[in-house]
Amino acid sequence: MAKSSLLYHLLALAVVAVWGVTFICTKVLIQAGLHPAEIFAVRFTLAYAGIWVFTAVGRERIRLWSRDWKDEVVFFFLGVTGGSFYFLTENTALAYTQANNVAFLVCVAPVFTAVFTLIYRRFGNDRFTEALEDVKLGVPLLGGSLLAMSGMAMVIFDGSRPEVSAHGDLLSLGAALCWAVYSLFMGRMTQDYGAVFATRKVFFYGLLTIIPFLSFQEGGLTAAALLQPRVALNLLFLGLVASLACFVAWNLVMSKLGNVTSTNYVYLNPIFTLISAMVFLGERMTPLSAVGSAAILAGVIWAGRR
């Protein structure tokens, strides 16, 4: 492995470690009374402001729009799939089920990414097709996908958990689908426009498309809530570290390592979440959920093998 390639692999690992902890931060904020849409709005507002500061300090050329309206539409689509809809489904899922369950179910994103990439390369014929990795339909992808799906079924239909958990589990799968679609196109856009510009666009359209959800929800984001250290610190961590720093880093990683290779690192996400949830939230897995989570993890790793 080349030294430069190793650097991007280490960067991907660091980002996933941070994202694993974000499930805990979001769960804490929900328990403090904040609405999932509010958490996303504050998180991305901080990140969006931060990326403009980053642009100014770096003296990058200020550019507001893409080269043409078609690319602007693509960025809007990425703002929805990798921004508002992804985080709304993931954050809402945390209100209904355990953080470690959400993490393991979102972990199937690499399998969805590989399958979508295989289909897109087969039927697509554009510049996005050229930027996708060459995925082969073989025993690893098929076997790993089936094993991961079996694990998902065990987690979702675990009868020993409260029935309301199934709602959270399905929302978690919705988040995984959003991230897989985001991974199809973001790598190419980062190559064409640079990580900072592409990330800023995702933040902007993510914030724009979350506004309707804020209008119809009653949340707990008040001045009194923001004065609570656990609320303020978790929001700052989510906005400046997990969103601003990690999104720029991740989009750069996808453009260098490829959409499938980089997304495969997501399978490590639930490991960090599981440890953090046990330490900070006191969460425990039922036996069936534990077997299902192990099957998801093994299936995703198997599907990602070359």
Give pLDDT tens digits for 271-303. 888 888 888 888 777 788 888 888 888 887 787
Would residue 54 be called left, alpha or beta, if left means φ above 0 and alpha means ψ between -120 and 50 degrees?
Answer: alpha
pLDDT band at 306 (very low <50, low <70, confident <90, very high): low
pLDDT in tens, 35-62: 899 999 999 999 999 888 877 776 667 7
- Pick the range with the lowest mean pLDDT from 8-22, 40-54, 135-149: 135-149
Domain ranges within the chain, ordered by starting residue: 3-303
pLDDT of residue 188 exceeding 80, the answer is: yes
pLDDT at 56: 76
Mean pLDDT of 202-216: 90
At residue 130, what are phi and psi to the nearest 5 degrees? Answer: -65, -30
Q: Which has more pLDDT, 304 or 177? A: 177
pLDDT of residue 201 exceeding 90, the answer is: yes
d(CA 93, CA 17): 20
| Closest of 195, 206, 189 to residue 55, by C-alpha | 195
DSSP E strands: which ranges in 65-200?
Answer: none
On whether the CB atoms of residues 303 and 148 are closer than 8 A, the answer is yes
Mean pLDDT of 120-129: 85
Q: What is the rounded radius of gyration, in angstroms, for the C-alpha atoms of the chain?
A: 19
d(CA 200, CA 52): 8
pLDDT of residue 162 exceeding 70, the answer is: no
pLDDT at 160: 63
Share of residues in the chain with pLDDT > 90 (%): 29
- Pick the range with the lowest mean pLDDT from 15-24, 32-41, 136-145, 154-163: 154-163
pLDDT at 203: 93
| Closest of 48, 45, 37, 43 to residue 88, by C-alpha | 37
Q: Which helix (H) or strand (E) holds 274?
A: helix 269-276
pLDDT at 178: 95
